[in-house]
Structure 1
Amino acid sequence: MSVAVDCSSEETADILVESQNSSLLENETEDIEEFFNVAMELAKNAGKVVRSAFSEKKNINTKLTGQDLVTETDQAVEKMLISSLKERFPTHSFIGEESVSAGKKCELTDNPTWIIDPIDGTNNFVHGNPCIAISIGLAVKKELLIGIVYNPIQERLYSAKKGQGAYCNNEEVTVSGQTELENALIYSEFGAHRDPEKLEIKFGNMYNIIMNGHGIRAQGSAALDMCGIACGEADAYVEYGIHVWDIAAGILIACEAGGIIMDPDTGGKVDLMSRRILCASSRSLANQLKNQVTPQSFPSD
């Protein structure tokens, strides 16, 4: 599934998804409003659960590696979100991090599909670091139409609807517009994988970024990284090994804030299931950053 690589006004043709056009759901605006309002309310309710559990002792388990963590709160929040959405919209489909981890097939079809990460930044959550987020995206006919990212600890609620701008706590946000890597602050993440060869490539990429930019930061949350780009708090973000639930909501928020989204391997359209992404405040910066990173291969979602 390929999504737009560019949501700037200068190149509106790039906004289109392959084989799609701007008429998607043009007669269903009321439906999108309903979907958005329900998801916003559920995100706030989920935030209460996460906030309550944040300072409590946690029952921690691991998934793929000893650094790939899951807690009872992750599982409870995802169950609450999916069951509530399914009750309101019984014909919709769902992709949830913990559901997939438990064996459910990860499949993105043309059906309205909610893409959910109950706690993006579980490692941070376990250690009491406030950089955590509930991430909820909605794709219809494989096009992202709704993105909600909520950090209930820092009380920052990011949201976007296709074609209607991006917001943080109801205030519209825009990217920094930075065009030069030498003046840019970049987000990138280490991820949970501990394969020495993949880590060596990641370290090399980060070295190149540090040597050619202002600096590099790792917040531990892909969703918040992309929202940081949307708000102009950093200028670009690149990562290999992320999953669709990490980035779906953040893609739309960054895009609606004027950001550039591209495949860091090809410079073309992003495949949501490909597990790689580059997000930047300008096309010039995106291209410069792309030239500093060595591609990595991960199994598709």
Structure 2
Amino acid sequence: MNLKDIIGHKVNINNIAHAIKEEKFAHAHLIIGEDGIGKSVIAKGIALEILGLKREREHIDILQWRIGKNKKSIGVNEIRELIKEINKRPFEGDKKVIIVHDGDNLTPQAQNAFLKTIEEPPKGVFIIVLSDNLESILGTIQSRCQIHKLRKLTNNDMERFVLRDHSNISDDLLQMVLSFSEGIPGRAQRFLEDETFKELRVFSIEFFKSKVDNKLFECTSKLLSYKSEWDDLYSCLVNLIRDMIIIKECYDESMILNKDYIEDIKSISDDYSYKSLINMLKSINKTNENIVKNLNFNIAIEVMLLELQEV
């Protein structure tokens, strides 16, 4: 997608486009923002602009570098391989763009190994590192890059984003998507287009029903199978508890996120007290904190189930 076609992030995009046009675009950049915020879309737009391409397509002088399969981090060996690619001459023209995804997974050693190349890349090479947060990037890397921090989109921009590809969406579904996505385009796309995400929403309803029926531990294997989808599953579980709390507190259906499951939410909430919902929320949040801290996933889930059984 070309820069001018990207919805939102206008200040960032205008500054970038102006720098490229004036041939003042720095050779190394950090694009920082939450998962799904649009980092890779902007990086690809930058690459197309630099290479003078009018439409999106795979191009031999745009190198997309990602973390290896089944790897949790990008180490020194991977960076050495990347540096070899960076030092190869462009195949077409005199410019080449390197987009490094998952920059927050670069080990400190890998970042140090990458430092000289970021500081002095070959002529005509532009390096763009994408990261969910800035804290994981060494100060020495930060000081040698131009930093672009992406903010959540406004509600108006999010509405434009959703309607661009889903013009026939109903008003109720649109509002549900906007509430769930919280200004992050990627979350809106997953809500509407990702079949696995739809499956997670259905499972979340069944999960809370299973507790009512004293069959919570029957969900164990299914929960463990969603290890790689935990972030989305966590959001689904928390949002359902939020909706049940709203039903308990004020019964205002306009505030419900999961409006398409409103009857299920009403039914399930009848079997939980306000206190039990709060305790369940605390347990699920603590589980997420443990998983973020790299506690063994299976153990974290088993502890959560034991805690929820007692609520």
TM-score, normalised by the number of residues in structure 2: 0.25
Which structure has the greater CA radius of gyration? Answer: 2
Task: Report the structure, 1 or 2, having the larger strand content.
Answer: 1
TM-score, normalised by the number of residues in structure 1: 0.25
Q: Which has the higher contact order (CA 8 A, sep 6+)?
A: 1
